[in-house]
Amino acid sequence: MMSQISNLNQCMDEFCSDSNIERAYSLAKNIAKAKLPYPIYEDVASEVVVALLDNLRNGRFRGDSAFETYVHAIAKRKVVDKLREKYSNNIEARTLLAHMPPPPLASTYWREQKRKLDKCLALINPKDRLVFELHYYKEMTYNEIGELLGVCSRTACIRGRRALRKVLFLFGDMTRCSRKSGVG
């Protein structure tokens, strides 16, 4: 218990300096400014600083993440809350949004893009395609891919980049052809 109190006091001393409070306010203001109008984003930045100090005082900041990351997370949540508050009070907008179907072109567009990507992948070397899929679909690093395939990470990296270049070239070529002919 005493070690937790000393850790809390250390966190408070470390993060509650004037420069860190100003830095937190500035960071929160920049995040809120991107999504909210003038008087509201300054209020949100102040709310972020108050929440930050409260979290530090109550021991909710464990120090697992960087100070800026923690401030960023609080600011994002406050901005989302403010946007929800803004639109939840507007009955007309809420009614419109509830009855509005999703845009049909969006899903059609992404299906078409996926179909083109699959065509491109079918045209490239199978070894390159495998590395591409592991890296971009399974989010594996080139080191992990190299270990899995029994090659050095440099070879996996070369195959992955070669596949990416070919896919980008072929994908761009297909997009240019579909624009000229009017078909996908």
Per-residue pLDDT of the chain (184 residues; tens, 9 = 90+): 444 445 445 555 566 677 778 888 888 888 888 877 777 888 888 898 888 888 877 777 766 667 788 888 888 888 877 777 776 655 554 554 455 445 445 567 777 888 888 888 999 999 999 999 999 888 889 999 999 999 999 999 999 999 999 988 887 766 555 555 444 4
CA 101 centroid distance within chain:
26
Task: Name the fold adopted by 104-181.
Answer: Arc Repressor Mutant, subunit A (1.10.10)
Q: Which two tokens stand for residue 96?
A: 């419109």
pTM of the shown model = 0.43
CATH top-level class of 2-97 = mainly alpha
Q: Is the dihedral of CA 127, 133, 136, 138 positive or negative?
A: negative
Cα 44 to Cα 14: distance, rounded to the nearest angstrom: 23
Non-local CB neighbours of 50 within 8 Å, separated by 6+ positions? none
Task: Give residue 11's pLDDT.
Answer: 53
pLDDT value, residue 4? 43
The span from the CA of 129 to the CA of 82, in Å, is 44
Given this chain, do its domains 2-97 and 104-181 carry the same CATH topology? no
The domain limits of the chain are 2-97, 104-181
- In angstroms, what is the C-alpha Rg of the chain? 25
